[in-house]
Structure 1
Amino acid sequence: MLYKRLPARIAGLLLLLLSGFSSAAFAVNVTDHWDVGGAVRFRADQESRRNIHNIGIDTVMLSTAYKSDSWMGAASYRWYGAQYPYHYTEHFGDIQFLQYAWIGYKFNAERELHVGLNKVPFGLQPLYSSSFWETLGNLIGMEDVYMVGVKYMQSLGDWHLQTGYYARPMWPGQGTSNGTTYSVVVTPADPGVVGGNRNQERNLFVGRLARDFVLGDWKSEAGVSVLGSDLYNDDTHRNGRRYSYALHYAGQKDGWGTKLQYARQDMAPKNPDGEQVITVGGYDGTFNMATRGNLYVGDLSYRLADSYFGGWLSNVKFYGMYSMYEKSNPDFRNSQRFTLGTSFSVKPLSIYIEWLNGRNDPYIGGSSYTQSLAAGGFDRWRSKLYMNIAYYF
């Protein structure tokens, strides 16, 4: 349900966008090299156990991209609020933040340099799974992470190298929490987070090396990633350290696809009360995370090659994903997420329908939001149905 009337400027924008649903999605070509676009997303959440039955607007995004023979760049900004799960805010747009904003230079067909708020190249790219909700890797600061820095990319035949230095996380946006960023990053805890601490990640170095090859009939990629950074504590004024590494494999055969990844996380923050927990946050919330553990990810998908009903239905994909954050502290309960879903396009609409299952997962099923990724929550599987409908223009 809609909790508040949308502001007139947002309602007008939505009316304009919705009026184009019968036509193909579009982007505004400002010049031959510069495009302006965006998206409007709606969501539906169904969880009978907690009496959650919501339909409403999820996100408004505006983006721009520039590309010439040598120069390139892109930026994207997001707005949320007033609708579930942000029904505690009064207006749509009370929560807003950048996703990315960078410029780049292409030296030749094999070498590029990106500077600004860009994606940290760690593990499977661009995402670890087919799921709209992503994996637990997103919550522990590995998947879909953007920070402010410089990234260099080079291809040499079947080999692909990415290296980067990131001085700081993304700039904070607007919201009600310390966690007002697109990515889940190390963040000072909000007052209500029991056992929370105040750290900031700086001076992150990352390297990713991958190789394309054929394994039987599977077009494959395998690679290794390493990462290191400083963790500055605002109370002790001391620098801790973070070290992470990952091994990944991705393969495709006909319509089948698979993604596999193992990653190790080791953080040693200089908190006043020890190193077992660090506070992270994003999307207007902060929560605690176990500092040491192993991440396991497995994703299997199948995409139908044909379109149906005169081209109205296309890009049909079915998938299943499992991820687990196995915590090194024996007193902590492991966090798990299992998803079955499908995604498809209905003319200009992009639709995801997912059955989400979580155990000690702060985002799914009503477990303890602030402690599930650390010591644990209810330690029982919880589930919900989720649908996201997006119109990209």
Structure 2
Amino acid sequence: MSIIQYTRNPMLLSVLPILALLDQAAIAAPVTDNLDIGGALRARFDYDPDQDIQKLSLDTVRLDVKYDSDTWIGKGSYRCYGGSYPYDYVDSLCDIAFPSYAWVGYKFDASRQVHVGLNQVPFGLQPYFGTTFFEGLGNVIGLEDVHNLGIKYLGGTPEWNLQAAYYLNDGGQGKGTSRGGRSYSTNVADADDNVPDGSDNVEKHKLSLRLARHVEIGEWASEFGGSLLTSTLENQDTGDDGRRNAFALHYQGRNGPWGTALQAVRQHMKPKNAGSNDIVTFGGYDGTFNVAAKGDLYVAHLSYDLPGTYWLVSGVQFYGNYSRFDKAKGAFKDSQRFIAGTSFSFKDLWIAVEWLHGKNDPYIGGSSYTQSLAEGGSDQWENRLYANIGYYF
């Protein structure tokens, strides 16, 4: 298939020339000494032989705001999708749109802050469970890169880091077509009509605690940590309250160009559904799907930063990430995801190219989107080649 066939989408054709103007200076500039406004334009390429998909598409248009002074801080980010794969079922860009985060904070001193608003839940490896772009299974079971509405405290010493937070709810939904998944984060959701045995829960009163210790082990700068999370699952059908609990142990280390991370998580949900209590419906990115109520998540990550600049290419990193979701219910088929990839800068572009290899994974191959993380899907390994090309300003 030719590049002309890839770029028949008029919206993508309008974006690609912007991405091509890489030799010009970045167009963003500080509004004041403390306020910056920027964003990103991103395209994506997907090749999935299992589903006969081969597409170059507009991925994201993003607006970012950042404020930083001696005492006050704040960040916000808003995203637009639509009109091209995988959101070609809507007509136009921003038919699907939502904030990623939006919070204000106060600095008590150099080591203590408080953040209020839509901010990242302090759980597990931070800020992500690895350096991949696509993220692992932790993201799709609602534990990685989650932003909810609440208040978070950050503090500590050079050796210790403490984060404690309370979240009233998930922060609400953005604009889209899905009943419960019109948001950046994967959250507990009200199942859409196409989700068999879906549940209708609202997650409230989430408490999260993360404590980490920085140590030097030989030439490795290391961090050992533990995290706790608990919340109420308020069922809208039965009127009864269930519970969500999660516990994690995590390690990350760096030795020169080498980086590594390990994590083990137990997620134990006890919903009070009108139907099966073995599943809880989650949603994000304009879709909803079932997740096993009880299971263990394992994550292993390894990366290598290639030093130097090669012609116009710099900041090269190679990485591999493996995540496995072992479900407690014996009849449910476990889910796995392996990502091997590289990221680098090409002049003003930041590019990630990844091979995705998944089993009972809702986002890879022809496995069931709604059931892969619960009872399972095709139960065979599926593949996808994925690339994301972004211009950040």
Give the TM-score range, shorter chain.
Answer: over 0.9
AA matched with 1:93: C
Provide the rounded CA distance (Å) in 1 between the counterparts of 2:116 and 2:54: 42
Deviation at 1:82, TM superposition (A): 1.2
SS in 2 for 1:138: helix
Q: Is the 8 A contact 1:170 1:181 kept in 2?
A: no
Provide the rounded CA distance (Å) in 2 between the counterparts of 1:391 and 1:175: 25
Residues 313 and 24 from structure 1, CA distance in 2 versus in 1: closer, same or farther, beyond 3 angstroms? farther
Which string of whole-angstrom CA distances, capped at 9 and with x for unpartnered residues, describes residues 33-62 of structure 1?
000000000000112232111001100000
Residues 308 and 183 from structure 1, CA distance in 2 versus in 1: closer, same or farther, beyond 3 angstroms? same
Match of 1:352 in 2: 352
Alignment of 1:198-209 (within 5 A): 198-209=200-211
SS in 1 for 2:154: strand
- Alignment of 1:374 onto 2:370: no
Provide the rounded CA distance (Å) in 1 between the counterparts of 2:122 and 2:223: 15
Match of 2:38 in 1: 37
Deviation at 1:2, TM superposition (A): 4.6
Deviation at 1:69, TM superposition (A): 0.2
Match of 1:145 in 2: 146
Q: Is the 8 A contact 2:98 2:175 kept in 1?
A: yes
Provide the rounded CA distance (Å) in 2 between the counterparts of 1:128 and 1:18: 29
- Alignment of 1:327 onto 2:332: no
AA matched with 1:340: A
Residues 158 and 289 from structure 1, CA distance in 2 versus in 1: closer, same or farther, beyond 3 angstroms? same
CA-based RMSD of the aligned residues comes to 1.4
Provide the rounded CA distance (Å) in 2 between the counterparts of 1:215 and 1:26: 43
Match of 1:182 in 2: 184
Match of 2:3 in 1: none
Deviation at 1:20, TM superposition (A): 4.1
Deviation at 1:216, TM superposition (A): 1.7
AA matched with 1:302: Y
Match of 2:108 in 1: 107
Match of 1:300 in 2: 302
Provide the rounded CA distance (Å) in 2 between the counterparts of 1:2 and 1:177: 27
Provide the rounded CA distance (Å) in 2 between the counterparts of 1:222 and 1:20: 43
Match of 2:125 in 1: 124
Q: Is the 8 A contact 2:294 2:327 kept in 1?
A: yes
Provide the rounded CA distance (Å) in 2 between the counterparts of 1:233 and 1:347: 50
SS in 2 for 1:42: strand
Alignment of 1:158-307 (within 5 A): 158-178=159-179, 179-307=181-309
Alignment of 1:310-321 (within 5 A): 312-321=312-321
Provide the rounded CA distance (Å) in 2 between the counterparts of 1:3 and 1:234: 44
Q: Is the 8 A contact 1:120 1:145 kept in 2?
A: yes
Provide the rounded CA distance (Å) in 2 between the counterparts of 1:299 and 1:46: 24
Deviation at 1:93, TM superposition (A): 1.5
Provide the rounded CA distance (Å) in 1 between the counterparts of 2:196 and 2:367: 15
SS in 2 for 1:137: helix
Residues 15 and 47 from structure 1, CA distance in 2 versus in 1: closer, same or farther, beyond 3 angstroms? closer
Which string of whole-angstrom CA distances, capped at 9 and with x for unpartnered residues, describes residues 178-231 of structure 1?
210000100000011011010010000000000111112111001000010000
Q: Is the 8 A contact 1:25 1:391 kept in 2?
A: no
The unaligned stretches of length 5 or more in structure 1 are: none
User: How many residues were matched structurally?
Assistant: 387
Provide the rounded CA distance (Å) in 1 between the counterparts of 2:107 and 2:25: 31
Deviation at 1:366, TM superposition (A): 1.6
Q: Is the 8 A contact 1:26 1:392 kept in 2?
A: no
Provide the rounded CA distance (Å) in 1 between the counterparts of 2:327 and 2:139: 16
Q: Is the 8 A contact 1:4 1:91 kept in 2?
A: no
Provide the rounded CA distance (Å) in 2 between the counterparts of 1:270 and 1:252: 43
Provide the rounded CA distance (Å) in 1 between the counterparts of 2:73 and 2:374: 40
Q: Is the 8 A contact 1:3 1:83 kept in 2?
A: no
Which string of whole-angstrom CA distances, capped at 9 and with x for unpartnered residues, describes residues 111-166 of structure 1?
00000000001000010011111110001111000000000000223000000000
- Alignment of 1:389 onto 2:392: no
AA matched with 1:247: L
Provide the rounded CA distance (Å) in 1 between the counterparts of 2:392 and 2:148: 25
Residues 159 and 66 from structure 1, CA distance in 2 versus in 1: closer, same or farther, beyond 3 angstroms? same
Q: Is the 8 A contact 1:63 1:77 kept in 2?
A: yes
Provide the rounded CA distance (Å) in 1 between the counterparts of 2:199 and 2:385: 33
Deviation at 1:275, TM superposition (A): 1.4
Deviation at 1:4, TM superposition (A): 4.4
Provide the rounded CA distance (Å) in 1 between the counterparts of 2:239 and 2:177: 26
Provide the rounded CA distance (Å) in 1 between the counterparts of 2:39 and 2:76: 10
Which string of whole-angstrom CA distances, capped at 9 and with x for unpartnered residues, describes residues 244-286 of structure 1?
0100000111101001000000001110123100100000100
Provide the rounded CA distance (Å) in 2 between the counterparts of 1:217 and 1:256: 11
Residues 15 and 50 from structure 1, CA distance in 2 versus in 1: closer, same or farther, beyond 3 angstroms? closer
Q: Is the 8 A contact 1:3 1:87 kept in 2?
A: no
Provide the rounded CA distance (Å) in 1 between the counterparts of 2:50 and 2:112: 52
Residues 29 and 286 from structure 1, CA distance in 2 versus in 1: closer, same or farther, beyond 3 angstroms? same
AA matched with 2:113: E
SS in 1 for 2:173: coil
The unaligned stretches of length 5 or more in structure 2 are: 1-5
Provide the rounded CA distance (Å) in 1 between the counterparts of 2:128 and 2:314: 21
Residues 230 and 264 from structure 1, CA distance in 2 versus in 1: closer, same or farther, beyond 3 angstroms? same
